[in-house]
Amino acid sequence: MEETWQVSFESIISQIIDRGYGIIDGFLSEEEITQLNKSLTDHYQAQEFKQAGISKNQDIVKSIRGDEIMWLERNNANTIETEFLNRLEEFMSYVNYTCFLGLRSYEIHYASYPVGTFYKRHLDKFRNDSGRKLSFICYINQQWEPENGGELVLYLPDKDEVVLPLGGRLVVFESDKIEHEVLPANRERRSLTGWLRNID
């Protein structure tokens, strides 16, 4: 029997091949969303988050980017974080098996956008580091409503794709091709965000 995650991997990969990005819902169960939210809150309260920076120097420029982040490492991950990293690695193997992107490593952080913060239009690629091949964002927001805002906008050649940050939704796109933006929200906006790389 095929696992449900395998079916969703196939779907997201064929979307990426067709149009450079993919979106699937239900990548995480409600229980997993609850657990990851709790972990984020614990890390936040333990002051493990820091203001995110931009470009290679990681300068803090709140008029461009206002989120706070915490990098996730396998060696200090808790049970639910380890499960998430396992699923991510399965996804990476699946991409390698089907797409020949030669993915070798990944980097991932929790992100929390306080009310009213945003990330202006940008590309997820540093000028002197071309290792990032695929960007992925998995939202862990419970009961997110359209009036909460906080949309991710993907700027495509023929249209703007506007994506609500619904809990359990996974968005993957080619890091060096698709410019995107995070719009402000009227409540805190949470995700796990990272990059699959073809160099270590």
Q: Give me the residues that bind ligand OGA (CB under 6 A), please.
A: 111, 119, 124, 137, 152, 165, 180, 182, 191, 193
Residues 6+ apart with CB under 8 A from 175: 123, 124, 125, 132, 133, 134, 135, 195
Task: Round to whole Å and give the CA distance between 104 and 129.
Answer: 15
Residues that bind Mn ion (CB under 5 A): 124
Q: Please report how close the Cβ of residue 151 comes to ligand OGA at its closest, in angstroms.
A: 8
Q: Please report how close the Cβ of residue 124 comes to ligand OGA at its closest, in angstroms.
A: 5
Judged by CB, which is closer to Mn ion: 90, or 107? 107
Judged by CB, which is closer to ligand OGA: 10, or 48? 48
Cα dist. 142→31, 33, 116 in Å?
11, 8, 18
Q: Please report how close the Cβ of residue 93 comes to Mn ion at its closest, in angstroms.
A: 24
First to last CA, the chain: 34
Q: Please report how close the Cβ of residue 189 comes to ligand OGA at its closest, in angstroms.
A: 7
> Which entry of ligand OGA, Mn ion, none binds 182, CB below 5 to 8 A by partner kind?
ligand OGA
Q: Please report how close the Cβ of residue 5 comes to ligand OGA at its closest, in angstroms.
A: 21
Judged by CB, which is closer to ligand OGA: 91, or 119? 119
Task: Round to whole Å and give the CA distance between 16 and 13.
Answer: 5
Judged by CB, which is closer to Mn ion: 80, or 150? 150
Which residue is nearest to ligand OGA, using beta carbons? 152
Residues 6+ apart with CB under 8 A from 125: 132, 175, 176
Q: Please report how close the Cβ of residue 40 comes to ligand OGA at its closest, in angstroms.
A: 14
Task: Round to whole Å and give the CA distance between 3 and 5.
Answer: 5
> Which entry of ligand OGA, Mn ion, none binds 13, CB below 5 to 8 A by partner kind?
none
Judged by CB, which is closer to ligand OGA: 133, or 180? 180
Judged by CB, which is closer to ligand OGA: 149, or 165? 165
Token readout for 88 is: 């991510």
3-state secondary structure 132-164: EEEEEEEECCCCCCHHHECCEEEECCCCEEEEC
